[in-house]
Amino acid sequence: MSFDELLADLQGQKANQNDPNHVSLDQLFNESFMSKHSNFNSFSSFVEKGNFQVETQADVDNIPDELFDRHVARETDFADWKSMLDTATKEYENK
């Protein structure tokens, strides 16, 4: 499962709706995960706190890595976005 596939279903987008391997960000970064690793209950609240305008996959792709990594490090118990994404993916797959 690629990063692009994980992001395709951001805020209502259903581009990979028929793909059984597709996981939405809301599923991946569910309330339990976000509460455990941050002070947020949802991924959308997390990105809103960083003043990121995220409505599409392109919006996420266009966030400069350095800015998003800083936001992740400041607002979660992860050092960067890749660590957060990798952990969420592993936890989801081990459910």
Round to whole Å and give the CA distance between 77 and 16.
30
Q: pTM for this structure?
A: 0.74
DSSP letters, the chain, are --HHHHHTTGGG--TTTT-TT---HHHHT-HHHHHHHBS-SSHHHHHHHTT---SSHHHHHTS-HHHHHHHHHHHBSSSSHHHHHHHHHHHHHT-
> What confidence tens digit (pLDDT) does each residue in 21-68 have?
567 777 888 999 999 999 999 988 999 999 998 766 567 778 999 999
